[in-house]
Amino acid sequence: MRYKVILLLAVLSLSCCSSLAPIHVSTQTISDVHVLFVLSDGFGWSYFTAQNIFDSWGVQTTTVALAIDTNVSACHNRPHRETTADLLLQDFDLNSLTDYDCVFIPAGGNWPTLISSQTVRTLISTAHAQGLLVATFCIGNVVVASAGTICANTKVASFSMSNDEMIAVGANIVDNVRLVCDNHIITGSQGGGPTGGGYETAPIYEACAMVVKMALGYSFAQNIEITPAGSNYAVTVTTTDPASQLPGINSTTITSVRAHVYSPANPVTPITTVNLDESSGTYTGTILGLSGGPYRVDIEIIDTDQVLEVIRDASTVFPGLPLLVGGVVIGIVAIIAIASGLFYWKRRSPPS
């Protein structure tokens, strides 16, 4: 019993670290980023726009088609246009997903064909499980929602024709944004079909920029600290200028930062939300009156293009343990506790 208590205290000590290390940036360059487009007959013209954007940046792209041959026709509501896919889905090896950074689903009238294909659904869910980004917008959101439960407890952009499907798989709908990136899933809120502006209003550029940013390991947040003071927690988010990370691609600035506090039992509805105040790129605020616990904290950052980046589980807080502050002290306490527990267990163990 004593050993279990000591071990529990050690785990809690390690879990109370209140600082998120600087966001990791990979050694990749833009030319190393590789995007896999998935489409079928009737795909939207957003594909051509996204393809041109990625080409202009030097991003590698491969197109796989659910079709009878590699000549695939675009949306039937517009003048005839087609593309030549690099390969057919029936010949695609899921083991090769490790060669890619993102699976991109262009919006368009091909969505019924895509969601009816178990192969497409498996490709998307497998890619996400392997850590790839999954990106789409408009009616393409329905295709991503069909891929099992990858959107469960994930924030997605609100789109009228996909919200029901997203809610059914446990997603958290976010209003008043054009694009949301959460849990390696990128969703967009606009499109509109042949009479609603279609691909011309869809957040295609924003989605492409987010794909590159996330594939290279960049983030709006440079460092996050959540410091306990009794039942209150001070939140500090140091941000970086998106335009400086990807010059010529992210021509935007940060408009707001907020912290959402959740109970692990309800990861969809926040217990409280704190809007952080900005000063020279640093955003601060205080989470008031927590009791019990634990809680998890998500940080949301919105830019001038109405693009939302969600930093999930930025911290896990344990109210009632305010003295466990500081990484060095916590580490020493944890090591001593674990060593003491092992020593006690060894003494109690019968001789061999």
**pLDDT tens digits for range 183-235:** 999 999 976 555 555 667 789 999 999 999 999 999 999 999 999 887 899 99
pLDDT at 21: 44
Q: What percent of the chain has pLDDT over 90?
A: 64
What is the dihedral angle through the alpha carbons of 183, 303, 143, 312, rounded to the nearest 10 degrees?
A: 10
CATH level 3 topology of 18-25+218-317: Immunoglobulin-like (2.60.40)
Q: What's the whole-number mean pLDDT along residues 45-62?
A: 95
CA 248 centroid distance within chain: 23
Q: Is the pLDDT of residue 293 over 90?
A: no
CATH level 3 topology of 34-215: Rossmann fold (3.40.50)
Q: Is the pLDDT of residue 106 over 70?
A: yes
Write b or e for each residue in 55-93: b if 16 or more Cβ atoms lie within 10 A of its Cβ, otherwise e: eebebbbbbbbbbeeeebebbeeeeeeebebeeebeebe
pLDDT at 193: 55
E strand intervals along 18-154: 19-20, 34-40, 60-66, 71-73, 82-84, 87-88, 102-105, 133-136
Sign of CA dihedral 267, 106, 96, 123: positive
Q: What's the whole-number mean pLDDT along residues 30-45?
A: 95
27: left (phi over 0), alpha (psi -120 to 50) or beta: alpha
What are the residue ranges spanned by the domains of the chain? 18-25+218-317, 34-215
At 26, is the pLDDT very low, low, confident or very high (cuts 50, 70, 90)? low
pLDDT at 220: 93
E strand intervals along 120-219: 133-136, 155-157, 172-174, 179-182, 185-188
pLDDT at 313: 87
Sign of CA dihedral 259, 263, 267, 271: negative
307-317 and 295-303 beta bridge pairing: antiparallel
pLDDT at 126: 97
